[in-house]
Amino acid sequence: MIDWRTLAEQLDREVDAQFGEPITLTPMRAGSDYAAGEPDPTRPAVNAKGVLVRPVGRVVEGSGEVERRGDFLSRVVETEMILSVREDAVTPARPRRGDRVVFLDRGIAGEIAFIERDVTDRLRMHLVRIRE
């Protein structure tokens, strides 16, 4: 009998080896209404490898500032990025909404908007790009 789970794990590791890039996931604790969040000391930061997928900029619901230009109001478009990562690589941090992910080789960062699973059971972290 074929152990499909072992084969899937081997494939995941090969995907990360070929296409993955180093990240640091830093757990964050929410700030007050007017203050930024801060690192959460109860959960450890983790270094891992993940695959970045960067779709064309799209408005993320509930985000973006409203800007006035003459008689028009427009919503500032924020870029959503998707990070595909093995769950076991980030489990110690217990990732959740609001945590910060830094792509070390690119010098860019994102905040987790939400997390879902893909068809191969990897975590898909939807990130809103932030300035570090």
**Single pTM value for the model:** 0.78
Domain limits for position 121? 4-130
Where in the chain does DSSP place strands (E)? 21-26, 28-29, 38-39, 46-53, 66-69, 72-75, 80-85, 100-103, 108-117, 123-130
Per-residue pLDDT band at 9 (split at 50, 70, 90): confident
What is the overall mean pLDDT for the chain?
82
- Provide mean pLDDT across the span 42-50: 97
Res. 126: pLDDT tops 80: yes
Res. 63: pLDDT tops 50: no
CATH of the domain at 46: 2.40.10
Query: 50-64 burial, b for 16+ CB within 10 Å, e for fewer?
Result: bbbeeeeeeebeeee
Rounded to whole angstroms, the Cα distance separating 97 from 113 reads 5
Res. 93: pLDDT tops 70: yes
Domain count, the chain: 1
82 by Cβ neighbours in 10 Å (0-12 / 13-18 / 19+) ranks as middle
Q: What is the per-residue pLDDT for 55? A: 59
Rounded to whole angstroms, the Cα distance separating 91 from 24 reads 13
- Provide mean pLDDT across the span 72-82: 62
Per-residue pLDDT band at 71 (split at 50, 70, 90): low
Q: What is the per-residue pLDDT for 32? A: 63
Residues contacting residue 107 through CB under 8 Å, at least 6 positions apart:
132
Res. 34: pLDDT tops 90: no
